Structure 1
């Protein structure tokens, strides 16, 4: 079965009180997610606070996930430098990961020549199948359909795209140019139904960390073309899914996880735990969702 199917949680990284990684919590969490129908696990991404993890911590986290579940583990590969990204890609292969989610470099964002060279170096570093991550909102680098086509033409292991531009037309544009060469996935929680309608086949999700059963069901209904049922579930889920689309999405999702019994709101600096009106509004949204939680 293809890796690029179903709901792939971009997992949060749980921390102990001293802010070291809580590997026991990682194991329990990923096993629960898979038991609820998720098809793979994506550690070390933006939601996983990858920018605050050392390379050694990322490698340890990859191994923990691989050992914990039989489902594919597809870590995010992002770094300040191309050399570090290449080392992470090789560490993922050594850890037994099934694929890679390849991000543009942190901080530095420039022209296509440089971005293509960076991504290509990561793709050449391993034979693992790779998911290209387009998120211009967060990374200021926008991989256009034509640029994705260049990468796909030159690298056989470029096989899928996580499209997070927030523009559902991008899915249509990629399909129009590349056909089925790249499998398309939605990477923004509150664009799931629209993305599937345009041709996306999988979902790299965030609120799934707290609501896996609902996430899996929403994707199933969307893929099955059951529009009325999908929209009713989507209507309920949207206030929560929108928590994934703002700068403090990590803190918000971790708080939701804590409140439903699957995590802790601890984050690493420069992030800080939510306080005041922001925290109360998140809890209000969650309380309302739990009060009206649909039966699946």
Structure 2
């Protein structure tokens, strides 16, 4: 199962502190129209850590009931039992794989990560995609560890959001051909594709999916055009970097008529008026360059 193309790590819209199911459905319809390859609910952009197990299942059910696109379910948890519960539910609902970052708070060794994922994958009802995001977890996947994990039957890929473009090509060169190396850093989409990424899971695709989709489809035949599109994508990166992620992204979605929802989950904060002005200017800049 080689993952290719642009997948969207969906935001979770909230209304009155509840999951906005109609908003989710609206965003899915938009993403399907824009021809993303698949959907990834309950990742970092989906604010999984602020949701209960019941709420996470509610998101999975809404997504699976609404779309015919392939779905990779976010299943990161501090407890393996909870991760496996979410994976089992997602499998029953028809998801194709699970995206799982390491448990956070406590730091562990590379051997500790190997033990955790070896155990997780042997009990998982879905293929596992490793999620390398050490800025949040404190537990990085180094290339030799990824090579070892890639040899396990039920681990099929890695989403790398570390931003380390020295280690990413090394991982690509170490793993089997059918192991999916997916980039998760929007500003590195084009460099990652050039160095062997088979696809991407990008927060920017919530807002302007046409940009990463065009970069993915054109880079091999027209690298100059892809480079121009990558420069344009940097405006969305700046939007996502405004405030506490994903507050800037959700505000921008509301401005463009999508369902960003009322707020972000505590302890995150909504944008200040000054931050909203920054996002508004970036959106106008994007519109002027179309």
TM-score bin, normalised by smaller chain: over 0.9
Contact 1:63 1:96 in 2 (8 A): no
Work out whether 1:77 is the aligned partner of 2:99. no
- Which blocks of at least 5 consecutive residues in structure 1 are unaligned? none
Q: 2:236 corresponds to which residue?
A: 240
Count residues with an aligned counterpart: 289
Stretches of 4+ aligned residues off by more than 4 angstroms: none
Q: 2:11 corresponds to which residue?
A: 12
Q: 1:53 corresponds to which residue?
A: 51
Give TM-score, length-normalised by structure 1: 0.92
Q: 1:120 corresponds to which residue?
A: 118
What is the Cα-based RMSD across aligned positions, in Å?
Answer: 1.7
Give TM-score, length-normalised by structure 2: 0.94
Query: Any residues of structure 2 matched to 1:140-289 within 5 Å, and which?
Result: 140-153=138-151, 155-222=152-219, 224-244=220-240, 248-265=244-261, 266-289=263-286
Partners in 2 of 1:219 and 1:10 — Cα distance? Answer: 16
Per-residue deviation, 1:29: 0.9
- Taking CA–CA contacts closer than 8 Å with sequence separation of 6 or more, which of the two structures ends up with the larger relative contact order? 2
3-state SS in 2 of match to 1:180: coil
Per-residue deviation, 1:108: 2.5
Per-residue deviation, 1:171: 2.5
Per-residue deviation, 1:32: 1.6
> Which is further off, 81-90 or 66-75?
81-90
3-state SS in 1 of match to 2:246: helix
3-state SS in 2 of match to 1:249: coil
Partners in 2 of 1:20 and 1:3 — Cα distance? Answer: 35
Per-residue deviation, 1:225: 4.1
Per-residue deviation, 1:118: 2.5
3-state SS in 2 of match to 1:75: strand
